[in-house]
Amino acid sequence: MMSGHGMMWGNMYSPDRPTVRRRIDWKRIGALFTPYWRPQTLVLACIVTASLLGLVPGFLTAHIIDVAIPRRSFSMLLVDLAVIVASALVAAAIGVVQGYLNSVVGEGIMRDIRTSLVSHLHRMPIAFFTGTKTGEIMNRVSNDVDNIDNVVTGTLTSIATNVVVIGTTLIAMFVWNWRLALLSTVVVPLMILPLGPVGRHMYQVRRRTREQRDEIESITQETLSISGITLIKSFAREEHESKRFYGVGTKLMNLEVRLAMVGRWFLASVTAMVIIGPVIVWLGGGWLAIQHTLQIGVIVAFVSFIQTRLYGPAAALAGIQVQIVSAFAVFERIFEYLDMPTEAYDAPSAVTLPEIRGDVAFEDVGFGYTQERRILDRVSFAVRSGQVAAFVGPTGAGKTTITQLVPRFYDPQEGRVLVDGHDVRTVTLDSLRRHIGIVTQETYLFHDTIESNLRYGKPDATADEIAAAATAANIHDFIVSLPDGYHTVVGERGHKLSGGERQRLAIARVLLNDPRILILDEATSALDSHSEAAIQTALERVMRGRTTLAIAHRLSTILSADVIFVIERGRIVEQGTHAALLARDGSYARLYRKQFREERASETMAAP
C-alpha cells in the first residue's frame, strides 16, 4: 500500500485532489464498447438500412415531378406515394429496434464504467481519501458518469447516423448527377474546417467547468451533512456559507456562459451555409434546366437531399461537438481516477495467513505520511497472544498510526510489522484483515437495519449468532425493546442512535467476526460515564482470549492492560505494567498524574 511508493501519497494528494494528468485516447474509449460488438453491429445495420430508406422519398419525388405528373398517370402516382409511405413505416420500425439496442449498449457501458470506478475507489489507499474531498469523489462517481450517459446512449449514435446519412447521400448524388453533386458540396469545407480550433478551445473551458463543479459538490457535501450543518448552525454561519456558495456558483456561471459563446460565430455561419447551399444548387441547376440538360424534379430532389440529408446532418455534427468535447473532458477525469495506483494488495509471492495465535511485533518501524512529516522513529515492541497492550501519550505522538500499520492501512517505510512472525506485507490482505477487529471512537453505521449492519463482517451469520454477539456487547436488550427490533433502520451514519448505542453495535459487529487481534482506538473517550460503563463491560468480554491493542484514554483501560507503551514524538520512551511505570516515576507517572488523577478521584468519590 505504502511500500514501493510510500512517500508518493503525501505529495500526490496535496493539497486536496489527485493531480494525474493523462489525455484520453480513442482506443481506451473503444475498449468500453468492445463487449457489446454484437448489438453495436445490429445498431449500425439499422442505421445504414434506415439511411438507404431515407433516400427513397427524394428519388420518387423526382419521378413524380418528371414522370408521373407529366404523363398524367394517377396509378403511377399512387405507386410512388405508396412506396414512400412504406419506406417511412419500415424506417420507423427499424428506429424502434435501433433505440432498444442502443439503450442496451449505452446502459451496459454506463454500468461497466460505474462498477469499474467504484471498485477502483474501494481499492484505493486510505491516504487517497484523507487527501481528496468527499464531494469531488462523489461528483466523479455520479455526475461525471451521468454526463457520459447522454453521449454514449445518444450522441455517438447520432454521430454515426449523421455520418452514414451524409455518406449515402453523397454517393447517391454523385451517381445520379455529378455536376449538381459538386455544386452541393461547395460550402461543406466551410462547415468543417473550423471544427478543430473551436473544439480545442471548448475542451479547455469544459475542463475548467468540471473542476468548478467539483468545488460546488464538495461544499454541498460538507455543509449539508449532519456534522456540517450542525457546525454551521452552532456558529450561526448560514449567511457566510450562502455567500461562499454564491461566489463559487458565480465562477461556474461565468465559465458556462463562456462555453456557450465559444464557437457561436462558427455555428451561426453553419446555419447560414444551410441557406446559401440550396441557393447555389438552384442557381446552377436552374441554368442547366433552362439549357434543357436537366429535369426540374432532379433539382427539387437535390435541394431536398442537401437540406435534410447533407447540410442538416453536417450542422448537427457541428452542434454535437459541444457534447463530444464535454464527454472528452469527463472521460479524462474518470480515467484520471482509474489510472491512479491502487492499494498494493498482495505481493506476487504473498501467502495466505493461516489461523493465528495473535502475536504482534514491530521491528525498528519508521513511518511518515510525507517526507517532511515523520511520525514513527524506529519503534520496536512485542505483544504476545492474548495480551492487552495499552498505548498512551500526548496527541500526535503516533499512537493511532501504530494501530493503522497492523492491518496495513499504511505500510512502513522502514522496518517490519509482524503478525505471528509473518511480515504483514508478505501475506494477503484479505487473510490478514480477517483476523483483525477494529473499534474506533467514531463508529460508522450504514443507513440500513441493525441486523444488516451487524452482518456486514459476516454475511452468513445466523440469527442466534447475531443475538449472542449483541448480548455480549450489552446491546441485545435495547434492540429487542425497539418496535422493529433487529429490523430497525439506524438512519444515516447511525444518527438515530446515541453514541453509546452505536459504539456497542460496533463492538457486536466486531465480536460477530471473532477476530484474534482487536484494535481499540479510544473507543470510549467521547461517551458519558453510564455509556462507558456498559461499553467497558462489553469490551472486557470481547478482549478475553484476544490480543488487544488499545489507545487508552480512560483509566480503566490502562489498569487492565498487561503492558503499557508510552509514546512520545514517535518513539516508545517507556513500557511496563501500570505499577512498574508509576514506581519508575518517569513520563508515564507524569502523564498519569496530569490526565488520570482527577478521573480516579471522581470515580472514588462516586463509588459509594
Each residue's pLDDT tens digit, 136-179:
777 777 777 777 777 777 777 888 888 899 889 889 888 888 88
Burial of 595 (0-12, 13-18, 19+ CB in 10 A): middle
Per the CB < 8 A criterion, the answer to whether 181 and 170 are in contact is: yes
Average pLDDT over residues 407-425: 91
pLDDT for 415 equals: 93
Tell me the domain boundaries of the chain: 14-339, 357-435+516-608, 442-514
pLDDT at 36 over 50: yes
pLDDT for 4 equals: 38
Q: 442-514, which class in CATH?
A: alpha beta
The chain-wide mean pLDDT, for the chain, equals 80
Upstream peptide bond of 15 is cis (omega within 30 degrees of 0): yes
pLDDT for 3 equals: 40
CA-to-CA dists, residue 229 to 136, 194, 219, 234, angstroms: 19, 49, 11, 8
Per the CB < 8 A criterion, the answer to whether 141 and 117 are in contact is: yes
Q: Which CATH superfamily groups domain 357-435+516-608?
A: P-loop containing nucleotide triphosphate hydrolases (3.40.50.300)
> pLDDT per residue over 261-297, tens digit each?
766 666 676 777 777 778 888 888 888 888 777 788 8
pLDDT for 79 equals: 92
Average pLDDT over residues 529-542: 67
Which of 194-198, 313-317, 525-529: highest mean pLDDT?
313-317
pLDDT at 221 over 90: no
Per the CB < 8 A criterion, the answer to whether 304 and 169 are in contact is: no
Whole-number Å distance between alpha carbons of 261 and 202: 10
C-alpha cell at 50: 434506415
Helix or strand (DSSP H, E) at 284? helix 264-290
pLDDT at 237 over 90: no
Which of 68-72, 289-293, 561-565: highest mean pLDDT?
561-565
CA-to-CA dists, residue 300 to 64, 202, 270, 278, 279, angstroms: 11, 38, 22, 10, 12
Per the CB < 8 A criterion, the answer to whether 422 and 347 are in contact is: no
Q: How confident is the model at residue 506 (pLDDT cuts 50, 70, 90)?
A: confident
Q: How confident is the model at residue 17 (pLDDT cuts 50, 70, 90)?
A: very low
Lowest mean pLDDT among 147-151, 328-332, 380-384, 604-608: 604-608
Average pLDDT over residues 438-442: 80
Q: How confident is the model at residue 306 (pLDDT cuts 50, 70, 90)?
A: confident
Q: How confident is the model at residue 126 (pLDDT cuts 50, 70, 90)?
A: confident
pLDDT at 597 over 80: no
Whole-number Å distance between alpha carbons of 270 and 274: 7
Backbone angles phi, psi at 228, to 5 degrees: -65, -45
Average pLDDT over residues 529-557: 72
pLDDT at 195 over 70: no
Whole-number Å distance between alpha carbons of 312 and 407: 61
Which of 84-93, 202-211, 219-228, 233-242: highest mean pLDDT?
84-93
Global pTM value = 0.64
pLDDT for 360 equals: 94
Number of other residues whose CB lies within 10 A of the CB of residue 541: 13
The widest CA-to-CA distance across the chain, in whole angstroms, is: 122
Q: Do domains 14-339 and 442-514 have the same CATH topology?
A: no
pLDDT at 184 over 90: no
Q: Where do runs of H (alpha helix) occur along 380-524?
A: 399-405, 429-433, 450-454, 463-472, 476-481, 499-513
Burial of 96 (0-12, 13-18, 19+ CB in 10 A): exposed
Whole-number Å distance between alpha carbons of 108 and 425: 37
Lowest mean pLDDT among 102-116, 154-168, 246-260, 485-499: 485-499
More confident residue, 581 or 597: 581
C-alpha cell at 554: 480512560
- For 5, residues 6+ apart whose C-beta sits below 8 A from its C-beta are 341
pLDDT at 8 over 50: no
Average pLDDT over residues 488-513: 79
Which of 198-202, 319-323, 444-448, 454-458: highest mean pLDDT?
454-458
pLDDT at 575 over 70: yes
CATH 1.20.1560.10 applies to domain 14-339: yes
pLDDT for 365 equals: 93
Burial of 24 (0-12, 13-18, 19+ CB in 10 A): middle
3-state class (DSSP) for residue 181: helix
Whole-number Å distance between alpha carbons of 353 and 408: 14
Per the CB < 8 A criterion, the answer to whether 48 and 162 are in contact is: no
Query: Strands 414-419 and 360-368: what pairing?
Result: antiparallel
Per the CB < 8 A criterion, the answer to whether 196 and 111 are in contact is: no
pLDDT for 308 equals: 81
pLDDT for 450 equals: 87
Q: How confident is the model at residue 461 (pLDDT cuts 50, 70, 90)?
A: confident
Average pLDDT over residues 244-251: 87
DSSP 69: T
Question: What is the distance, to the nearest Å, from the Cα of residue 200 to the centroid of all Cα atoms in its chain?
Answer: 27
Backbone angles phi, psi at 446, to 5 degrees: -80, 155
Q: How confident is the model at residue 193 (pLDDT cuts 50, 70, 90)?
A: low
Q: Which amino acid is at 259?
A: L
Average pLDDT over residues 12-19: 41
pLDDT for 5 equals: 36
Q: How confident is the model at residue 532 (pLDDT cuts 50, 70, 90)?
A: low
Lowest mean pLDDT among 51-55, 123-127, 491-495: 491-495
pLDDT for 320 equals: 72
Percent of the chain topping pLDDT 70: 84
pLDDT for 448 equals: 83
Whole-number Å distance between alpha carbons of 56 and 75: 18
